[in-house]
């Protein structure tokens, strides 16, 4: 039963083609026969127990259970965007718990320091750009998904700390390690967007968005200077910097702003927010009117005491609406 279920063969079901002299008769256990007759389930469970008992006599492989701020920042952004589009509350719960954990375990508010790794109640002292950039982008996504001003405030704290520690004020761009690090032979400004986008690419786009939402010209200028620093790379090898291309595309045109006026926790405002996110328009930003947002947004009024959405470019806005279908059409 176990042989059929796991696809085991006498000659083996796996050959390591990367090895010039691969070991023969190797089997990789995978579920080949998904449907198991009811009468065979007892036999299968007994086989699994015996296999597990035999495996337990060997040294267990190392469990990689460290928590990295950079990877968690990417996950946070993905979950926040999933909630914004799909409206699944469990995604929002996971995102809120994630950012709460990172703030409690890896963020030091007294020194504005984001540590990179946490494990077994301890955090390291390493300062890496990716920890700040990826978490900044993730928290910013969570703000746009909820309009909770706490997340916008935290985004600003991360951005300011990142600028102070890694930004090259003379030439633009961000160092991979802290500017003042004295134990490094070489300081680098990474730009390659591989399996994980580079810190400079993520920082450029996040700062441009945050600069628009908060009307902070210093953040916007830092993002633009970072893009210009890698202009030659963008022109000669654009395939190596896809994330930076997104930032460049964002910089080239005045972004559209969807300003939601009203209590973001109300059912009406949440419906409008969901509608705004239902239309894919990557170069728009979504903001509320509470917290450190641009002053212009705070001047936009409610209509009839109900939440509304203003679609604005610069200081020009379309007439406010609370009609979801009209809003969806206006966004296209």
Q: Average of pLDDT values for 4-31?
A: 90
Q: With respect to residue 60, please indicate whether it lies within any of the assigned structural domains.
A: no
Cα distance from N-terminal residue to C-terminal residue, the chain: 56
Q: With respect to residue 311, please indicate whether it lies within any of the assigned structural domains.
A: yes
Q: What is the C-alpha to C-alpha distance for residues 152 and 161, in angstroms, rounded to an integer?
A: 14
At 19, the pLDDT band (50, 70, 90 cuts) reads confident
Six-digit token string for 175:
């160092």
Are 133 and 226 in the same domain? Answer: yes
Q: With respect to residue 169, please indicate whether it lies within any of the assigned structural domains.
A: yes
Would the pLDDT of 42 be above 90? yes
At 8, the pLDDT band (50, 70, 90 cuts) reads very high
Are 82 and 172 in the same domain? Answer: yes
Q: What is the C-alpha to C-alpha distance for residues 149 and 147, in angstroms, rounded to an integer?
A: 6
Q: Is residue 281 within 8 Å of 256, Cβ to Cβ?
A: yes
Q: With respect to residue 264, please indicate whether it lies within any of the assigned structural domains.
A: yes
Region for residue 148 given its phi and psi (left: phi exceeds 0; alpha: psi -120 to 50; beta: otherwise) = beta
Which domain, by its residues, includes 99? 67-251
For the chain, give the mean pLDDT.
Answer: 95
Q: With respect to residue 304, please indicate whether it lies within any of the assigned structural domains.
A: yes
State pLDDT tens for residues 214-250.
999 999 999 999 999 999 999 999 999 999 999 999 9
Axis crossing angle, helix 199-214 with helix 217-229, rounded to the nearest 10: 150
At 326, the pLDDT band (50, 70, 90 cuts) reads very high
> Which pLDDT value is given to residue 34?
86
Are 170 and 199 in the same domain? Answer: yes
Are 157 and 46 in the same domain? Answer: no
Are 166 and 77 in the same domain? Answer: yes
Are 48 and 72 in the same domain? Answer: no
Are 220 and 311 in the same domain? Answer: no
At 1, the pLDDT band (50, 70, 90 cuts) reads confident
Six-digit token string for 327:
């809003």
Six-digit token string for 228:
């210009």
Would the pLDDT of 145 be above 90? yes
Would the pLDDT of 129 be above 90? yes
Q: At 231, which CATH number?
A: 1.50.10.20
Would the pLDDT of 52 be above 90? yes
Q: What is the C-alpha to C-alpha distance for residues 295 and 312, in angstroms, rounded to an integer?
A: 13
At 95, the pLDDT band (50, 70, 90 cuts) reads very high
Are 222 and 278 in the same domain? Answer: no
Q: With respect to residue 161, please indicate whether it lies within any of the assigned structural domains.
A: yes
> Which pLDDT value is given to residue 181?
78
Q: At 311, which CATH number?
A: 3.40.30
Are 8 and 125 in the same domain? Answer: no
Are 16 and 43 in the same domain? Answer: yes
Pick from 216, 251, 286: which residue ends a domain? 251
How many structural domains is the chain composed of? 3
Q: With respect to residue 62, please indicate whether it lies within any of the assigned structural domains.
A: no
Are 113 and 243 in the same domain? Answer: yes
**Counts of helices then strands in the chain (DSSP H, E):** 13, 9
| Strands 113-114, 107-108: pairing kind | antiparallel
Would the pLDDT of 196 be above 80? yes
Pick from 55, 80, 97: which residue ends a domain? 55
Would the pLDDT of 150 be above 90? yes
> Which pLDDT value is given to residue 253?
92
Which residues pair with residue 167 across a beta bridge?
Answer: 174
Q: Average of pLDDT values for 63-77?
A: 96
Are 33 and 139 in the same domain? Answer: no
Would the pLDDT of 320 be above 90? yes
Q: With respect to residue 19, please indicate whether it lies within any of the assigned structural domains.
A: yes
Would the pLDDT of 182 be above 80? no
């Amino acid at each position: 039963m176990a042989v059929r279920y796991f696809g085991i063969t006498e000659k083996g079901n796996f050959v390591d083609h990367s090895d010039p002299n691969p070991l023969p008769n190797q089997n990789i256990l995978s579920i080949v026969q998904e449907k198991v007759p009811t009468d065979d389930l007892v036999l299968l469970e007994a086989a699994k127990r015996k296999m597990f008992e035999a495996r337990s006599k060997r040294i267990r492989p190392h469990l990689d259970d460290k928590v990295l701020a950079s990877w968690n920042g990417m996950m946070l952004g993905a979950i926040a965007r999933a909630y914004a589009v799909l409206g699944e509350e469990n995604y929002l719960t996971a995102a809120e718990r994630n950012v709460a954990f990172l703030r409690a375990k890896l963020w030091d508010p007294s020194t504005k320091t984001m540590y990179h790794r946490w494990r077994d109640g301890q955090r390291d002292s390493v300062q890496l750009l990716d920890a700040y950039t990826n978490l900044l982008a993730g928290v910013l996504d969570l703000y746009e998904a909820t309009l909770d001003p706490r997340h916008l405030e935290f985004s600003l704290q991360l951005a300011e700390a990142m600028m102070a520690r890694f930004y090259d004020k003379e030439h633009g761009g961000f160092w991979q390690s802290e500017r003042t690090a004295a134990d490094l032979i070489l300081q680098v400004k990474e730009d390659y967007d591989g399996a994980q986008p580079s810190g400079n690419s993520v920082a450029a786009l996040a700062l441009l968005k945050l600069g628009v939402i908060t009307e902070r010209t210093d953040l916007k200028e830092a993002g633009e200077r970072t893009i210009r620093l890698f202009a030659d790379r963008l022109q000669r090898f654009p395939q190596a910097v896809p994330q930076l291309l997104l930032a460049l595309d964002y910089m080239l045109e005045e972004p559209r702003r969807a300003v939601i006026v009203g209590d973001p926790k109300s059912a009406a405002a949440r419906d409008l927010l969901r509608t705004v996110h239902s239309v894919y328009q990557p170069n728009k930003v979504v903001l509320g009117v509470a917290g450190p947002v641009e002053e212009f947004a705070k001047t936009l009024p409610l209509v009839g005491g109900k939440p509304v959405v203003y679609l604005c470019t610069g200081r020009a806005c379309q007439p406010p609406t609370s009609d979801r279908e009209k809003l969806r059409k206006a966004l296209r």
